[in-house]
Every structure is written in structure tokens, then in C-alpha cells.
């Protein structure tokens, strides 16, 4: 049976163009904000890109009150707090975020308090906690992975509990996403590989979740094909602007897809592994993806068979189960190529996870919000079995 009900809503304007991050004053004039804080990570503060973006904003007659450049990978609550303080000190009305998911999520979380006041964790962690629209936020992604520039969530590490804390609300979607593939040319091969696998995981999990809809399906399928055709190229030849462009768009499509349809067991295991063993999100997703697909194989056979075609498998001589298994095999082969090309680990032990942490990871994964959207119940003993296999 087809869909009985769905809704699709995206309040982010998306602009794609090589070089767009250097001049977007037309867009600024529509947002009617006089003073901006630029939030980025140390890499972009040092390589001159943050300065160029600052100069572009100022050339349009707008004030940049400061540049917060202390965002680490997997940003933390204390970093968000410092960002809020700098924004308040300079009197910034709104934020431009430049960087990967960590910089964008830091800006999203800071923007909540900047717009509404209150305590970030006490008042706003969790789902649908934001009572009204926030100040405008411009997101300029520099990795082709998280899709955070269009999603309604932010993920921040809580140093106190040693867990990743999530904030989920439609008001968290940035007002404007500027997709400039030139900014991704500097992303090293391994980071390109892991963030690309993050986008692939978003696409596959959103296409097989319990909350899919025709819009998210279309976006996810397009993204899978684009990633299949371009990820290895972008890893092998980082200067390939076409492959970089396709990957940035694919990650964006995948972000919209999973923001609507949600994700599943792979993300549940990755969130837990990121919090407990500090494995980068994309790397954890890459390690777990085939195991999570096997977990759901019996209940998503037809969907995996459809994915196989987008991953370049000739399915004409295969039955549905054969094609579904071939999709999982294609993901394994992609991971093997990435391991060969840039050393992306395909086992937890090679990503710094200790065997003694596996049970805690499984317990945490079962309780993770992503588990509730998985098409099969996430059961402790079974998930632990998959985590042990991935070890
Ligand atoms: P990241 O932002 O943590 O960046 C990783 C590293 O890559 C950093 O050292 C950064 O300086 C560097 N980098 C980024 N772009 C670069 C470039 N173009 N050239 C050279 N170096 C560059 O990586 P990420 O994978 O984009 O983000 C991960 C974070 O996003 C995690 O905290 C994860 O939980 C979160 N996340 C959020 C969402 C969401 O919807 N909000 C979705 C998925 C993941």
C-alpha cells in the first residue's frame, strides 16, 4: 500500500554555486540583520577562508562583530557556552556558521540561547523544546557529510555525562544554506571518505526507516547514486570540482531525506560509539553500515534490492533477496576501496574502541532515539552481536 499520510516541510533556502561563499550580499539584504558573528573551526581561521567570508559580509555594508574559531571536532557544551559569550559581548544579532557538522551544530545550539535566553541544556535539550522562531542562521558546510545545513537537529558532546546530547526542533533548521564546493577541495582523503560514508548512511537509513515518505525516498535514492558515482573520485583526486560538487549536493539531499524520515540502528550504534569511545561520527557509520543493513535485511529486502541498483549492481539475474544481499556486499566493497585508498578503518578495534566498551555501547544504542525509527526492534543481545562482529 502507498503512503496514507505524510508531510514535508523545509524552511531552509538552499543556494549552490562554486564560489558563492565569497559574495552573498543579495541574500544578506533579505535577512535584515546588521551584525553577524562568524563561527568556524581553527582550520578555516588559519587558511584565510574565514577572513574572505568576513570581508565579503563587510563589503556588503554589514558588521562582523567577531570570529569564534574554537570549534573542535564533535563540539562540546563548554564550546557552545564560549560562543554564546562572544556573540553577546560583541552584540551580534545572528550567526554565520562555516565548517563541518561540528561548527554548524555549535552555531545552531548557540543561536538558541542567543535568540531566546535561558539555559541550553535545562531548557532546550531533547525534542520540540523551542517555542518560537530563532534569529536567522546561515550555514556554509565544508564537509560533504552531515547535512546539518538543512537539518532540524544539533548534536553536542556533554562533558559531564560523556554522552552526545541532541537538540531537535524544526526551528533549528538554518534559514540559508550556501553550498560552495570550492570550500570542500581542501578536505583530506580520509575526512572526505568518512563524511561521504556519513551521507551514504543517511540516505540508506532514511530510505529504510519506519518514517519514509515519497519525498524523502526520492532524495535518498538520488543521493545514493550520486555518492556511488563520486565518492571514490573525490577521495582519489581531491581537486576534482565536479566530484566535490556532486558529493556536496548528495550530502545535502541526504540531509533533507533523513531529517524527514529519520535514521536507524546504524546511527544508534554510532552515536553510542562516538560518546563512549570518541570515534568520529562518519567513521563509526562507515564501520557499522553493513552490519546494520544485515540486521534489517529480512524486513527491508525489497528496499535494499532497490538500493543495489543505485550502488551500480546489475540485478537483472538476481532475485529480490539476492539483490538485497548484493547491496550489502556493494557497501562492503566500497569500504574496502576506501580502506585501501586512505586507510579508513572498517573495524571498531582499528578505530580505537576497546573490547571492554562493547556492552556499554550496545546498552546505550538500544536507548538512542534513532533506534525508535529502525524497522526492526533494536534488541540488546542482537545489537551486541552485531557490535561484536564489527569489532
Ligand atoms: P567536523 O565538522 O567535526 O570536522 C572534522 C575535521 O575536518 C575538523 O578538524 C575540521 O577542521 C576539518 N575540516 C572540515 N572541513 C574541512 C575542509 N573543507 N578542509 C579541511 N579540513 C576540513 O566533521 P563533520 O563530519 O562534518 O561533523 C561531525 C559532527 O556533526 C559530529 O558532532 C556529528 O555528531 C554531527 N552531526 C550532526 C548532524 C546534524 O544533523 N546536525 C548530522 C550528522 C552529524
Phi-psi category of residue 96: left, alpha or beta, with phi > 0 → left and psi -120 to 50 → alpha: beta
Residue nearest to atom 44 of ligand 1 (CA): 146
| CA 282 – CA 268 distance, rounded (Å) | 13
| CA 86 – CA 331 distance, rounded (Å) | 43
Tell me, in angstroms, the distance from the centre of ligand 1 to residue 238's CA: 17
**For residue 103, what is its C-alpha cell?**
561548527
Domain boundaries, the chain: 13-183, 187-390
Q: Which residues line ligand 1 (CB under 6 A)?
A: 41, 43, 73-74, 99-103, 105, 142-143, 145-148, 151, 153-155, 183-184, 186-187, 191, 195, 198, 281-282
Q: Which atom of ligand 1 is nearest to the CA of 191?
A: 7
Summarised one tens digit per residue, pLDDT across range 316-359 is 999 999 999 999 999 999 999 999 999 999 999 999 999 999 99
Tell me, in angstroms, the distance from the centre of ligand 1 to residue 298's CA: 33
Q: What are residue 294's DSSP bridge partners?
A: none
pLDDT score, position 59: 94
Q: Are 130 and 166 in contact (CB under 8 A)?
A: no
Could you check whether 13-183 and 187-390 share the same CATH topology?
no
Give pTM, 2 decimals: 0.97
**For residue 157, what is its C-alpha cell?**
558532546
Q: In which band, very low, low, confident or very high, does the pLDDT at 1 lie, cut at 50, 70 and 90?
A: low
pLDDT score, position 161: 86
Using a 10 angstrom Cβ sphere, with 0-12 exposed, 13-18 middle and 19 or more buried, the burial of residue 317 is exposed
Spell out the CATH class of 13-183. alpha beta
Q: What are residue 76's DSSP bridge partners?
A: 157
Three-state DSSP at 307 gives helix
pLDDT score, position 3: 76
Spell out the CATH class of 187-390. mainly alpha
Tell me, in angstroms, the distance from the centre of ligand 1 to residue 24's CA: 23
Residue nearest to atom 28 of ligand 1 (CA): 101
Average pLDDT over residues 27-31: 94
Q: Are 265 and 163 in contact (CB under 8 A)?
A: no
**What's the number of CA atoms in the CB half-sphere (13 Å) around residue 104?**
27
- Calculate the CA 261 to chain-centre distance: 14
Q: What is the mean pLDDT of the chain?
A: 96
Summarised one tens digit per residue, pLDDT across range 138-197 is 999 999 999 999 999 999 999 898 888 889 999 999 999 999 999 999 999 999 999 999
Q: Which run of H or E residues covers position 172? A: none
| CA 358 – CA 250 distance, rounded (Å) | 32
| CA 265 – CA 228 distance, rounded (Å) | 22
Ligand 1 pocket test, pick from 76, 98, 103, 143 with the greatest ligand atom count within 8 Å of Cβ, gives 143
Ligand 1 pocket test, pick from 39, 45, 99, 166 with the greatest ligand atom count within 8 Å of Cβ, gives 99
For residue 64, the 8-state DSSP code is E
Residue nearest to atom 27 of ligand 1 (CA): 101
Question: Hey, how many other C-beta atoms are within 10 angstroms of the C-beta on 122?
Answer: 8
Flag the least confident range among 18-32, 59-73, 153-167, 180-194: 153-167
Amino acid at each position: 500500500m502507498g503512503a496514507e499520510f505524510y508531510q514535508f516541510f523545509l524552511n531552509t533556502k538552499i543556494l549552490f554555486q562554486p564560489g558563492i561563499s565569497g559574495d552573498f550580499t543579495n541574500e544578506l539584504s533579505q535577512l535584515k540583520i546588521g551584525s553577524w558573528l562568524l563561527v568556524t573551526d581553527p582550520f578555516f581561521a588559519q587558511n584565510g577562508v574565514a577572513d574572505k567570508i568576513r570581508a565579503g559580509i563587510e563589503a556588503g555594508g554589514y558588521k562582523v562583530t567577531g570570529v569564534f574559531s574554537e570549534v573542535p571536532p564533535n563540539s562540546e557544551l563548554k564550546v557552545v557556552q564560549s560562543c554564546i559569550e562572544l556573540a553577546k559581548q560583541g552584540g551580534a544579532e545572528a550567526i554565520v556558521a562555516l565548517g563541518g557538522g561540528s561548527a554548524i551544530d555549535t552555531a545552531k545550539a548557540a543561536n538558541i540561547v542567543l535568540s531566546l535566553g535561558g539555559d541550553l541544556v535545562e531548557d532546550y535539550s531533547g525534542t520540540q523544546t523551542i517555542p518560537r522562531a530563532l534569529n536567522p542562521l546561515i550555514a556554509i558546510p565544508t564537509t560533504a557529510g552531515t547535512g546539518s545545513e538543512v537539518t532540524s537537529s544539533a548534536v553536542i558532546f556533554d562533558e559531564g555525562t560523556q554522552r552526545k546530547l541532541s537538540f531537535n526542533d524544526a526551528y533549528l533548521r538554518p534559514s540559508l544554506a550556501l553550498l560552495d564546493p570550492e570550500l570542500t577541495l581542501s578536505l583530506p582523503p580520509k575526512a572526505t571518505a568518512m563524511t561521504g560514508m556519513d551521507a551514504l548512511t543517511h540516505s540508506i537509513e532514511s530510505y529504510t526507516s519506519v518514517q519514509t515518505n515519497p519525498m524523502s525516498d526520492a532524495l535518498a535514492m538520488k543521493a545514493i547514486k550520486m555518492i556511488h558515482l563520486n565518492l571514490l573520485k573525490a577521495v582519489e583526486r581531491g581537486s576534482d570540482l565536479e566530484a566535490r560538487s556532486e558529493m556536496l549536493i548528495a550530502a545535502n539531499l541526504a540531509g533533507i531525506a533523513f531529517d524527514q524520515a529519520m535514521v536507524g540502528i546504524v546511527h544508534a550504534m554510532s552515536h553510542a560509539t562516538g560518546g563512549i569511545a570518541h570515534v568520529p561520527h562518519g567513521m563509526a557509520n562507515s564501520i557499522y553500515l553493513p552490519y546494520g543493513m544485515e540486521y534489517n535485511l529480512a524486513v527491508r529486502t525489497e528496499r535494499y534490492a532497490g538500493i543495489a541498483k543505485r550502488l551500480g549492481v546489475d540485478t537483472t539475474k538476481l532475485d529480490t533477496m539476492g539483490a538485497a544481499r548484493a547491496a550489502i556486499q556493494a557497501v562492503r566493497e566500497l569500504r574496502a576501496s576506501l580502506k585501501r585508498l586512505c586507510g579508513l578503518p572498517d573495524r571498531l578495534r582499528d578505530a580505537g574502541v576497546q573490547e571492554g566498551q562493547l556492552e556499554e555501547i550496545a546498552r546505550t544504542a538500544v536507548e538512542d532515539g534513532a533506534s525508535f525509527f529502525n524497522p526492526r526492534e533494536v534488541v540488546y543481545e542482537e545489537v551486541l552481536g552485531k557490535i561484536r562482529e564489527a569489532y
